[in-house]
Chains A and B, each alone.
Chain A
Amino acid sequence: MFSDEEISVFFDELEEKIQVLNENILILEREGESQDALQEIFRAAHTIKGSSAVMGYEKMVSLTHDMENLFDQMRKGLLPVSGQLVDTLFMALDTLQMLRDEIVGKDVSVDIEQVAARLKQCREAGPATPAPDAPADAGLAEPGPASAGFNGALEAVDEEVIHAAALKGYQAYGVTVELDSGCQMKSVRAFLVFETLQQLGEVIKSEPAAEDIQEGRFGKSFQAVLLTKEDPDRVRNLLMTVSEVVRADLSQIVLTNGMEAPKQAEPGAQAEKPERPAGGEHAGTKTVQTVRVDVQRLDTLMNLVGELVIDRTRLNRFAEIFAGRFGAGSGELVDTLNEISSHLGQVTGDLHEHIMKARMLPVAQVFSRFPRMVRDLAQKMNKEINFIVEGHETELDRNVIEIIGDPLIHLIRNAVDHGIEGPEERAGLGKPGAGTLKLRASYMENHIIITVQDDGRGLDPGRLRARAVEKGLLDREAAGLMPDREAMDLIFMPGFSTAAAVSDLSGRGVGMDIVRNQIENINGTVDISSALGVGTTFTIKLPLTLAIVRALMVELGAEQFAFPLANVVETITVQSGAVKKVKHNEVIVVRGHILPLVRLSEIFERAGGGEKKRLFVVVLGVGEKKIGVIVDRLLGEMEIVIKSLGDYLGKVPCLSGATILGDGQVALIIDVRSLVREIGIEETVYAAG
């Protein structure tokens, strides 16, 4: 028997490989026979076959064996990619997924006969004789004729970089590295070559793209553009120290009138014909190597860091006592002690930050399942959809990632189902037959923005209003007065669904209100913008992590409080004379607007720092509503880790949790939403009285 750990590794790998298969089959469908994709597919299927055989899952072995045979034929060019073939492959993948479920004990019994039959059918449909000029192994395409320097196209951006670097004394070289043809670990060697190059200078471009190289997707040689001050001979010698590098050539790149004219640094330099153009980005700077780590382990690490922080505080205190007891005579010792303590503090801080980052995952985790979903949906609906995904590499806390999956599925389904029109309708409107659906993730300050954008029919504010009235969510008069912008937001109301007929895709009783709820639960927001006939865009704004926020730290009496920055509009200082009374409430006038004021000391029934001439006011905003909170002192911004106050205290009004400060003390985090709401209530009460 295998240990749980081994089984879970197997499943992780299986999941990953199924995903690889999914993605690459989609590429095949889109681009026809792509050798790169076929290589990937073949490798993934082979891995699954191998590991499931080790684990003894017979059905899985048999299915992947059939698939592998098919892939092999495709790879050899014996079998053209067809719609039917792709469908069969997807069916096989789904079966594979079901087999997985069967193994983990979900109550399903999977029959692979049917799929096996279809796979066989596909295989036999291929020509009996091999195509004459199909390469035996396309991944190892023969190098092209020898030429010099760097063959990939240098873009204007690169040339600018080279030019700028030249002014600082850096030389640009085209580096060609050739590996031994029998090299088994191309990716590892390539990685070492890149490491070496990066120690010597800056790699600004490579051919093929760095990721491809580091995953071993190149022939026996590859090229890079290196900016360095080092002597080319030294670079060459260092590169030759990497095992299985059989040749390393450098030729200087000299730009003339923006034209690339490589000057031979050495005769006979060999280069390879690029397999595919590199992207415009500065490739080669990113090296991703990963290990799987149990999240539990990260949590434990996190707690251990917490303990370190405490010990550091104790050390600090001890240093003080020590200094006090032994006085001036021990000056040097005290200094040393303080030095150690402050360094320990720094290291602990860094450690903390990095462990936090280790909990982040790229959104690709969720995004990767969508292309397949969109394809299936589109096929079912007879729509053509060009699905574009951008920014997979954007990282988010794993908790957030787990939660955003469902809302995104819903938005994407909606876009395919209701947003994008059928091909005929689109043709009639003068739009391209294939609709475009774009899913994009990016960073913005300390948030991540995810947009789901379609070029479909857009939302009709008139219809939305009518619908809301019809559903009794709005009376006719209010609907008439409602601006278009607000009418869009109607779709987020509970019980609102615009589809005339509930299709089997979207509208399974989950409305947009749920989507909004799910997103707001993790402190995110969702906005909609739409133009009739042009398309709809949903913009989701999420915190990078649920656990850390940037906060404004303030002092009240001897204690610190944290205001999450997301809700802090600004901080101002006012003279106490500027505070006016309106009924029972204190207000100030800020740039012509009246701002209600509250004192933190009153809200928390705490003795504040007494009356002062200058007051520090934190202006908080939730939606359109703003209030000012008077505090004793502003301490500045910091990143805090949110911790719950625990079940025992439950939900404490106006507090959302606590955080541990650098010195081990606890500071409470203010729940701005509930604070603003509470002040709102008081105001109305006063107004009524």
Chain B
Amino acid sequence: MAKGEQGLGGREDQLVIFQLSEQTYGIDIASVYEIIRMETITMVPRTPDFVEGVINLRGRIIPVIDLSKRFNLACSDRTNSSRIIIVDVGGNTIGMIVDAVSEVLRVPLDSIEPPPPMVHGIDAAYLRGIAILDSRLIILLNLEKVLFEREKNELQELTLETA
């Protein structure tokens, strides 16, 4: 599908492309463990708002977060195309709910530009860059930051509150 962009010896990234609140996002395929359909999520009380709960992934308990809540974006309804992307970041396996997963794309590194300070309400700190491909705009996420930056603080606050 993205064959045209290949070649010329340029280095490229392989991205998993997904939709969230009508925007297109991409994350590095290396950090994606698998993609599953929505399933029953057990809510875990007293966790940050964007933590949706936990699921059973073949015997493992995996926390699941709602990515749109994470970015304070308008929450979209769960549909048949909603997916949970299971990612492996820094030794943690975490599920992220997205509206849809569309494809895997190869993106030449030179088509990736540094992010502007704010993109669709998301702070640039969470972004790796913006890729423009066939006049499509793909927002590349920095998963490490997305998953860990604020949670740590919030989770810590929680522990402090109850300590």
- Which of B56, B92, B151 gathers the greatest number of chain A CB atoms within 10 Å? B56
Report how many residues on chain A are interfacial, defined by Cβ distance under 8 Å. Answer: 34
Q: Which of A250-258, A285-293, A639-647 has 4 or more CB atoms under 8 Å from chain B?
A: A639-647
B162 touches A645 (CB 8 A): no
B46 touches A605 (CB 8 A): yes
B47 touches A649 (CB 8 A): yes
A604-B45, A605-B45, A645-B44 as given contacts; A666 in contact with B61, CB under 8 Å: yes
B56 touches A664 (CB 8 A): yes
A650 touches B55 (CB 8 A): no
From A302, A305, A660, contact of B61 by CB (8 A): A660
From B60, B63, B159, contact of A648 by CB (8 A): B63
Q: Across the interface, which residues of B come within 8 angstroms of A650, CB to CB? A: 155, 159
Return the chain B residue nearest A309 by Cβ: B59
Return the chain B residue nearest A306 by Cβ: B59
From B45, B54, B55, B91, contact of A606 by CB (8 A): B45
A648-B94, A653-B162, A666-B42 as given contacts; A658 in contact with B47, CB under 8 Å: no
- Which of B45, B91, B94 gathers the greatest number of chain A CB atoms within 10 Å? B45
Nearest 10 Cβ contacts at the A-B interface = A306-B59, A604-B45, A666-B42, A653-B162, A307-B58, A643-B61, A648-B92, A303-B59, A658-B61, A660-B56
Is A559 an interface residue when CB atoms closer than 8 A count as contact?
Answer: yes
Q: Mark A642-670, 1 if CB is under 8 A from B, else 0.
A: 01111111111111011010001111100
B46 touches A665 (CB 8 A): no
Q: Across the interface, which residues of A come within 8 angstroms of B162, CB to CB? A: 653, 678
B42 touches A667 (CB 8 A): yes
B59 touches A660 (CB 8 A): yes
Q: Across the interface, which residues of A come within 8 angstroms of B67, CB to CB? A: none
A645-B63, A648-B151, A653-B162 as given contacts; A306 in contact with B44, CB under 8 Å: no
Return the chain B residue nearest A559 by Cβ: B42
B58 touches A306 (CB 8 A): yes
Inter-chain CA distance A606–B51, complex, in Å, is 15
Q: Across the interface, which residues of B come within 8 angstroms of A303, CB to CB? A: 58-60
Inter-chain CA distance A658–B54, complex, in Å, is 9
Inter-chain CA distance A467–B44, complex, in Å, is 48
Is A310 an interface residue when CB atoms closer than 8 A count as contact?
Answer: yes
Return the chain A residue nearest B155 by Cβ: A650
Q: Across the interface, which residues of B come within 8 angstroms of A302, CB to CB? A: 59
Q: Across the interface, which residues of B come within 8 angstroms of A667, CB to CB? A: 42
**6 residue pairs bridging A and B, Cβ less than 8 Å apart:** A643-B61, A645-B63, A648-B94, A650-B159, A654-B45, A660-B59
Q: Across the interface, which residues of A come within 8 angstroms of B155, CB to CB? A: 649-650
Inter-chain CA distance A359–B119, complex, in Å, is 52
B118 shortest CB reach to chain A, Å: 27
Is B79 an interface residue when CB atoms closer than 8 A count as contact?
Answer: no
Q: Mark A606-649, 1 if CB is under 8 A from B, else 0.
A: 10000000000000000000000000000000000001111111
A321 shortest CB reach to chain B, Å: 15
Return the chain B residue nearest A311 by Cβ: B58
Q: Across the interface, which residues of B come within 8 angstroms of A658, CB to CB? A: 42, 54, 61
